[in-house]
Amino acid sequence: MSRISLVIGLAATLLAGSHAARAEQPLTFVSWGGSTQAAQENAWATPFTQATGIRVRMAGPTDYDAFRAMVQSGEVTWDVVDVEADFALRAGREGLLEPLDLKQVAQRDIDPRFVTVYGVGSFYFSFVLGYNSSHLARAPEAWPDLFDTKAFPGKRALYKWPSPGVLEMALLADGVASDKLYPLDLERALRKLDTIKSDIVWWGSGDESQQLLASGQASLGMFWNGRVHALKQAGAPVDLRWRQNLVTGDFLVIPRGSKQVTAAKRFLGFASKPKAQADFASRTGYAPVNLNSAALIAADLAGNLPSAHGDSQITLDFKYWSKHGEAISRRWYAWQAQ
């Protein structure tokens, strides 16, 4: 073998080894933990690895400050991240996300509320009125009951982060029509919340919300429908009301600078397919974003999904929040600290 041939052969071997090393690197999937991320692992990550040979490492929880810092520093260790809808829209505008191949995620099959050039829906869910039946003499029926501390005594559990949901709920309870919610009357919403402020216990994660409701530390409150559904399935004395359920969703996004962009795009395409979405919905009680998933979900479960309760359903305005969220956040935190 000539010296030149030897050098070329060695270079080819090193290049092949480099590609193999990259292929062996796991894809890092970041989400919110608890039963939701466990379902994402079982419904998406494990079968994805079986189908492609690409390993998926589960990590979390999702942290927006860490997300931004990672992208801005160029030291990106996350590849696919489950984020809230308004953050997905805002991060796309800010240049924090890798653009997608919308053919790869079968855009035509996805609920149009939950697909953009920078992200595809993970799932969608409803904020519902949940209650512990062992701590109340009678069941609440609608959002105004959450503010009636005489008829429905006990603490109220509410989501503590400034994102779509709580403010809209307060306005609805105060008599605002569903088609008049936006632009949000922030001060009116906060005045309504002032009437129960001393009775609020705040939750920041799905696990925490379940603990508050199941234990009776909060007798009622505003919860993600899937978390109440899981408690019911486990035999806890809880139930929920769907009237004016407030729909929002999570998106799967790829941080700009991910070292596994090609694999990450394949993962998003896989996770948004009909079977993967149906499997996740069956495990969680959250609705699938793929429009072809419904036929794959058992009828008894389908009736407990947000997709079956559209009569008085209200889709929260993610675009509004993506544009005004920072200003709302400043006022929200100031109000909480008062």
pLDDT at 228: 94
Q: Are residues 151 and 236 in the same domain?
A: yes
How many Å apart are CA 290 and CA 294, to the nearest integer? 8
Bridge partners (DSSP) listed for residue 203: 159
Are 155 and 171 in a shared domain?
Answer: yes
Integer-rounded Cα radius of gyration of the chain? 22
Give me the domain span that covers residue 156.
125-247+310-337
Are 260 and 239 in a shared domain?
Answer: no
Is a pLDDT exceeding 60 seen at residue 1?
Answer: no
- Find the CATH number of the domain harbouring 327: 3.40.190.10
Rounded to an integer, the average pLDDT of 1-26 is 47
pLDDT of residue 230: 87
The larger pLDDT score, comparing residue 22 to residue 305, is at: 305
Same domain (yes/no): 59, 159: no
Q: List the structure tokens of 120.
A: 């595809």
Query: What is the enclosing helix (H) or strand (E) of 127?
Result: strand 119-132
Instruction: Check: CB of residue 125 under 8 Å from CB of residue 224.
Output: yes
- Asked if 213 and 315 sit in the same domain, the reply is yes
Bin 33: left if φ > 0, else alpha if -120 < ψ < 50, else beta: left
pTM attached to this predicted model: 0.84
Q: Output the pLDDT for position 24.
A: 67
Q: Is the pLDDT of residue 16 over 80?
A: no
Give Cβ neighbours of residue 221 (< 8 Å, ≥ 6 apart): 129, 130, 131, 146, 155, 156, 157, 158, 201, 203, 209, 212, 213
Is residue 172 domain-shared with residue 191, that is, in the same domain?
A: yes
